[in-house]
């Protein structure tokens, strides 16, 4: 029995699908189906043969077709999806679930239609949608749930249902009529089988005709009015306007001719995976490409340079001061630096004035010099003299400005006073310039040690204070490209931002190198201001303490002073580094002030210094710590100074020789002439700080270069500084090395860029160090920017390295 | 798929679903399938307004074409009726054909426009033609705080 089979199927299916699948739900449909089929079959068997003969032979086929139509529609009405709306995902109803108002109004053709929240399906029911409790789902254009077909009548199958009704009505009428005719014609044979059957058939059909007719009429009415049973029964549009009607004829047309709506559930899905891979485009943001730091350093990049601008301004000021060719400064050592710092404190005011210059020049280094002279006299007077001579020769103008400061400073350096009165000036300028470079570099990288290196180098910049200040400056504003023009160009050509930003002509940095008189053309600019920028840079860069590399690093990168550069590169004194940033930070505030002794010490390089200072640690620039650092430095001074001094002497000598040889070659084409190229071309320095971050290639041209060319009196500080600076410049090296190579443009660039590498996570520092220091020609001017950008990117990535979001590919989606 | 390449030039991070935006239906012209072209605020920073509107308008056009009552739909109905709807076993309805076009269009839009922006459009048919679901993905590597409140779509007036 079909009913039994249906019941069994329903039982097997379980309670799913709501009540429509329960056994009891199949009774009506089975009954209806049975009745229909049976009756019609009987009609055809018993009545139609006579009808075909008596009335018309076309009667049975027509009835047959009609019956087929009825069955088809009945089947469609029964088995066709009414337009079930799938339940909403959790994502869709997250908010609605808890705070959803029951109704939501939408405007439809000027009529406000209320959409009700369906708690079962978790969405607001579209207009005309209703939830069928029997089937437990929302149906689009819900009409009713017909028990006779055991299905919801909705948008998709209403047409079939209506046609079923129509056809059934017609069929039933036909069957009834023809049966009646038959019976009337066989009144005397009523008890025969045919008549009896026909009587039964017509009675059934007659009996069910009335409800079916009623239902059909009802639905005709609904269609004409454009309503659903649901709406009619609930009286929705009793007194109002029905926004869904299109007019009687159009409604009928819609009913019959509308395309068949698609099924929403259980659709065959062919999903092709779409991979969503960052980085993502963003509107507007995509268009603005981040200002690229270019290696030539000529272009000033906006973003990164912004910060540096401040520093740059200062640096430029400093740079000017230190523009004179600083004599090779005595190799700074920590102790010396400390003393220098102290000296510089006194000279702080000088530095202040100088600050505007970007490059820490000799004046900045002066403190170092002084410290050196004062302490263990790291710089032998003769060296100082030598350097100073060079400086004097080359940057007399600078010296002049420096001399203003140097005298005061010189006083602090008894040993130097006599001989180094002038030389100190020169040295100062040198140191300053170198320092400015280193500072710049360090500031960029948060390396602190560079400052001391600067000092030691005595870039003929301003007084040794410059070193400290420069380091601070450098730290402060690695970006102060302008000041770093000279320094940066030499040291860190790869820092375009800094360089470019501030100094329009990359050559700007060179001034004090030029002053050193490599070519004799020197000094186009007054040296003295060189170190102020360093300070500024330092201040700014104080957050870069990440760079354990000595402050020189920053300086290196930025400043074009070869000697400094070399220093920086070579002598990453961690201690300095730690100190420097902090000091720098504090200095940044004071910026122009004498950097805390610790800072200056930093670049003093030497192993001992480094070690001793190491405990100070690269702690980042915290002003508070600078004082502590300074205090610490005091303790080191003696031993450190000695070591530094020794080293410096050695380095100086070597450098001098090399620089001389190289100077010509180095002054290459572009900018920086005195800058970086020397670094690269210079033979490796003898100074390799043991355990330094990297092999400070003595060849860091800066030192030798300076020495030889006399541009920067870095020679002095080469050895101690170089090693320390180099290591400290680890981070910087990325930028610093390139600047060396690319000279002016790069210096400009490196300025801006160095900051970013400075920010590079410390993890990178050690690695690059060796490479950078060892191989000067790190043409990272290109890499630097990439580092820069990468640093930021990487930083962010590191920060967010692993979030727990589910990564999704589209294919997996949904 | 969390692959992070520490490449200088490119960092690849996996994307994670952050939020979903739902573009609701526009019933102003009746129950015909039409989606609102109002630009959701959540997409302000993700995609250009014009792109989004173009997509929605194209989808609306597709649906309008699918639901058009005319000669073709009538013939289809008659044919279906004549064959006792057996024709549905072998033939695809017009609406289904348009739906395939729509799916293809959405796929193409996803690939070209939305996926590069970290967005993904879900075919409305999967949501019962009630909403266009746009999934917003965040770069998991770069932004830790992806996922904002995944507020439900553009639920309109509450």
A120-151 pLDDT, tens digit each: 888 888 888 889 988 889 988 888 998 888 88
Question: What percentage of residues in chain A have a pLDDT greater than 70?
Answer: 33
- Between A668 and B123, name the one with better pLDDT: B123
Mean pLDDT of all residues belonging to chain A: 59
- In total, the C-beta contacts within 8 angstroms joining chain A to chain B are 231
| Among B residues 99-118, those touching chain A with beta carbons less than 8 Å apart | 99, 107, 110-111, 115-118
Helix, strand or coil, per DSSP, at residue B22? strand
In angstroms, the CA A271 to CA B111 distance is: 13
Nearest to B126 among A272, A801, A814 (CB): A814
| Among B residues 23-42, those touching chain A with beta carbons less than 8 Å apart | 25, 27-31
Pair of tokens at residue A267 = 């659709």
In angstroms, the CA B103 to CA B124 distance is: 9
CA atoms within 13 A on the CB side of A275: 8
Give, in degrees to the nearest 5, the angle at Cα A618 between A614 and A622: 125
The residue among A601, A577, A632 whose CA lies nearest residue A443 is A577
In angstroms, the CA A411 to CA A424 distance is: 10
pLDDT value for A275: 77
Q: Is residue B112 part of a domain?
A: yes
Of the ranges A324-328, A566-570, B33-37, B93-97, which one carries the lowest mean pLDDT score?
Answer: A566-570
CB burial readout A657-690, b (16+ within 10 A) else e: bbbbbbbeebbbebbbbbbbbbbbbbbbbbbbbe
Q: Is residue B57 part of a domain?
A: yes
Chain B hits for A268, Cβ within 8 Å? none
Catalytic, out of A118, A132, A146, A152: A146
| Contact between A274 and B69 using a beta-carbon 8 Å cutoff | no
In angstroms, the CA A112 to CA B146 distance is: 38
**B122 touching A (Cβ < 8 Å):** yes
Averaging pLDDT over each range in A169-173, A549-553, A658-662, B151-155, which range is the top one?
A169-173
Q: Is residue B111 part of a domain?
A: yes
Strand partners, B35: B25
Chain B hits for A113, Cβ within 8 Å? 27
In angstroms, the CA A712 to CA A722 distance is: 14
The DSSP output letter for A44 is I
Nearest to B66 among A259, A267, A794 (CB): A259
pLDDT value for B58: 92
The residue among B58, B35, B63, B36 whose CA lies nearest residue B112 is B58
Q: Is residue B44 part of a domain?
A: no
B97 has pLDDT over 60? yes
Using an 8 Å Cβ cutoff, are A86 and A135 in contact?
A: no
In angstroms, the CA A333 to CA A365 distance is: 12
Give, in degrees to the nearest 5, the angle at Cα A755 between A753 and A759: 120
Whether residue A279 is preceded by a cis peptide bond, meaning omega within 30 degrees of 0, is: yes
Length of chain B: 158
pLDDT value for A217: 92
- Angle subtended by helix axes A334-354 and A396-412, to nearest 10: 130
pLDDT confidence tier of residue A373, bands split at 50, 70 and 90: low
Strand partners, B137: B17
Chain B hits for A94, Cβ within 8 Å? 150-152
Averaging pLDDT over each range in A43-52, A98-107, A406-415, which range is the top one?
A43-52
pLDDT value for A299: 45
Q: Is residue B53 part of a domain?
A: yes
pLDDT value for A661: 62
Distance from CA of A264 to the nearest CA of B (A): 5
Residues A25-46 have a mean pLDDT of: 88
Q: Is residue B1 part of a domain?
A: no
Stretch (H or E) spanning A208 = helix A193-225
Helix, strand or coil, per DSSP, at residue A714? coil
Chain A hits for B12, Cβ within 8 Å? 277-278
User: A387-403: per-residue pLDDT in tens?
Assistant: 445 544 544 444 444 44
Distance from CA of B106 to the nearest CA of A (A): 11
Domain containing B79: what range? 17-30+49-139
Pair of tokens at residue A719 = 């050895």
Is the pTM for the entire model greater than 0.90?
no
Dihedral sign (CA A138, A139, A142, A146): negative
In angstroms, the CA A115 to CA A575 distance is: 71
Checking ipTM against 0.85, whether it exceeds it is no
Find the closest chain B residue to A250 by CA distance.
Answer: B69
pLDDT value for B61: 92
**B95 touching A (Cβ < 8 Å):** yes
**B53 touching A (Cβ < 8 Å):** no
Find the closest chain A residue to B63 by CA distance.
Answer: A261
| Interface with A, mutate which of B77, B152, B156 (most A CBs under 10 A) | B152
Q: Is residue B145 part of a domain?
A: no
| Among B residues 127-146, those touching chain A with beta carbons less than 8 Å apart | 127-131, 133, 135, 137-144, 146
Q: Is residue B78 part of a domain?
A: yes
Chain B hits for A783, Cβ within 8 Å? 8
Whole-number Cα distances in Å, B58 to B54, B94, B102, B127, B155: 6, 18, 9, 18, 22
User: A613-635: per-residue pLDDT in tens?
Assistant: 444 444 444 444 444 444 454 55
Phi, psi for residue A152 in degrees, rounded to 5: -75, 145
- Split into its structural domains, chain B has a count of 1
Length of chain A: 814
Distance from CA of A814 to the nearest CA of B (A): 9
Find the closest chain A residue to B22 by CA distance.
Answer: A92
Nearest to A259 among B46, B67, B153 (CB): B67
Mean pLDDT of all residues belonging to chain B: 79
Chain A hits for B131, Cβ within 8 Å? 92
* Burial grade of A240 (CB within 10 A; 0-12, 13-18, 19 or more): exposed
* Burial grade of A428 (CB within 10 A; 0-12, 13-18, 19 or more): buried
* Catalytic site includes residue A249: no
In angstroms, the CA A333 to CA A501 distance is: 32
Using an 8 Å Cβ cutoff, are A741 and A677 in contact?
A: yes
């Amino acid at each position: 029995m079909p009913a039994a089979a249906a019941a069994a199927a329903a039982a097997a299916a379980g309670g799913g699908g709501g009540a429509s699948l329960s056994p009891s739900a199949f009774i009506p449909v089975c009954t209806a189906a049975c009745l229909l089929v049976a009756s019609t079959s009987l009609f055809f068997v018993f009545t139609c043969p006579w009808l075909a003969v008596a009335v018309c032979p076309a009667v049975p086929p027509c009835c047959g077709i009609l019956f087929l139509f009825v069955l088809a529609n009945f089947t469609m009405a029964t088995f066709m999806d009414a337009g079930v709306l799938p339940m909403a995902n959790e994502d869709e109803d997250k908010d609605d679930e808890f705070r959803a108002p029951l109704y939501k109004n939408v405007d439809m053709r000027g009529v406000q239609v209320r959409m009700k929240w369906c708690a079962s399906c978790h969405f607001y029911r579209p207009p005309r949608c209703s939830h069928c409790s029997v089937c437990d789902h929302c149906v689009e254009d819900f009409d009713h749930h017909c028990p006779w077909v055991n299905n919801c009548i909705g948008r998709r199958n209403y047409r079939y249902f209506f046609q079923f009704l129509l056809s059934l009505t017609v069929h039933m009428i036909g069957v009834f009529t023809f049966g009646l005719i038959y019976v009337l014609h066989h009144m005397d044979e009523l008890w025969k089988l045919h008549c009896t059957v026909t009587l039964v058939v017509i009675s059934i059909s007659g009996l069910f005709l009335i409800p079916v007719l009623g239902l059909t009429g009802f639905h005709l009415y609904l269609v004409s009015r454009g309503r659903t049973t649901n709406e009619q029964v609930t009286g929705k549009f009793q007194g109002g306007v029905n926004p869904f009607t299109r007019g009687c004829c159009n409604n009928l047309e819609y009913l019959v001719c509308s395309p068949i709506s698609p099924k929403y559930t259980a659709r065959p899905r062919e999903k092709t995976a779409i991979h969503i891979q960052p980085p993502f485009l963003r509107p507007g943001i995509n268009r603005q490409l981040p200002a690229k730091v270019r290696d030539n350093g000529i272009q000033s990049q906006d973003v990164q340079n912004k910060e540096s601008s401040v520093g740059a301004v200062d640096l430029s000021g400093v740079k000017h001061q230190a523009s004179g060719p600083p004599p090779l400064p005595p190799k700074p050592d920590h102790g010396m630096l400390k003393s220098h710092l102290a000296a510089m404190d006194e000279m702080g005011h000088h530095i202040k004035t100088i600050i505007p210059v970007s490059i820490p020049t000799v004046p900045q280094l002066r403190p170092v010099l002084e410290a050196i002279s004062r302490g263990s006299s790291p710089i032998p007077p003769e060296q100082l003299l030598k350097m100073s001579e060079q400086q004097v020769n080359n940057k007399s103008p600078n010296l002049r400005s420096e001399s203003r400061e140097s005298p005061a400073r010189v006083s602090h350096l008894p040993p130097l006073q006599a001989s180094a009165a002038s030389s100190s000036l020169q040295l100062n300028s040198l140191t300053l310039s170198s320092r400015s470079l280193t500072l710049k570099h360090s500031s960029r990288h948060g390396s602190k040690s560079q400052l001391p290196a600067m000092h030691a180098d005595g870039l003929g910049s301003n007084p040794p204070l410059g070193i400290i200040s420069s380091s601070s400056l450098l730290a402060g504003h690695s970006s102060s490209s302008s000041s770093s023009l000279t320094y940066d160009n030499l040291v860190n050509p790869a820092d375009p931002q800094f360089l470019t930003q501030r100094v329009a002509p990359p050559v700007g940095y060179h001034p004090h190198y030029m002053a050193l008189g490599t070519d004799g053309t020197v000094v186009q600019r007054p040296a003295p201001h060189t170190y102020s920028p360093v300070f500024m840079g330092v201040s700014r860069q104080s957050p870069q303490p990440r760079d354990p590399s000595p402050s020189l690093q920053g300086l290196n990168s930025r400043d074009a002073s070869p000697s400094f550069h070399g220093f920086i590169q070579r002598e990453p004194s961690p201690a300095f580094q730690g100190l420097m940033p902090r000091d720098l930070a504090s200095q940044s505030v004071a910026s122009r002030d004498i950097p805390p002794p610790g800072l200056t010490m930093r670049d003093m390089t030497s192993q001992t210094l480094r070690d001793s200072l190491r405990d100070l640690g690269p702690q980042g620039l915290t002003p508070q710590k600078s004082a502590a650092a300074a205090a610490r430095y005091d303790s080191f001074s003696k031993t450190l100074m000695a070591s530094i001094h020794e080293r410096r002497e050695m380095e100086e000598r070597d450098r001098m020789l090399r620089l001389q040889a190289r100077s010509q070659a180095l002054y290459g084409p572009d900018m920086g002439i005195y800058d970086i190229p020397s670094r690269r071309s210079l033979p490796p320095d003898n100074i390799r700080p043991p355990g330094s971050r990297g092999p400070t290639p003595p060849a860091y041209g800066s030192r030798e270069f300076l020495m030889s060319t006399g541009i920067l009196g870095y020679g002095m500080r080469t050895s101690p500084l170089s090693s320390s600076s180099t290591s400290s410049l680890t981070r910087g090296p990325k930028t610093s090395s390139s600047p060396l190579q690319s000279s002016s443009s790069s210096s400009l660039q490196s300025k801006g860029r160095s900051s970013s590498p400075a920010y590079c996570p410390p993890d990178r520092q050690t690695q690059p160090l060796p490479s950078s220091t060892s191989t000067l020609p790190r043409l990272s001017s290109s890499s630097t920017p990439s580092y820069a950008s990468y640093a930021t990117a990487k930083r962010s990535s590191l920060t967010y390295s692993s979030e727990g979001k589910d990564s999704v590919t589209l294919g997996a989606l949904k | 798929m969390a692959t992070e390449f520490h490449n200088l030039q490119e960092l690849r991070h996996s994307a994670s679903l952050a939020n979903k935006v739902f573009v609701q239906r526009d019933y102003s012209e009746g129950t015909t399938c039409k989606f609102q072209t109002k630009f959701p605020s959540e997409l302000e920073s993700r995609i250009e307004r014009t792109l989004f509107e173009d997509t929605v308008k194209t989808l609306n056009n597709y649906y309008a074409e699918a639901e058009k009552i005319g000669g073709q739909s009538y013939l289809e109905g008659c044919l279906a009726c004549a064959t006792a709807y057996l024709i549905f076993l072998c033939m695809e309805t017009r609406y289904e054909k348009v739906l395939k076009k729509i799916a293809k269009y959405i796929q193409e839009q996803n690939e070209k426009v939305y996926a590069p922006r970290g967005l993904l459009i879900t075919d409305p048919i999967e949501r019962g033609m009630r909403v266009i679901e746009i999934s917003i993905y965040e770069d998991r590597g770069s932004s830790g705080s992806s996922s904002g409140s995944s507020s439900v779509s553009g639920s309109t007036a509450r």
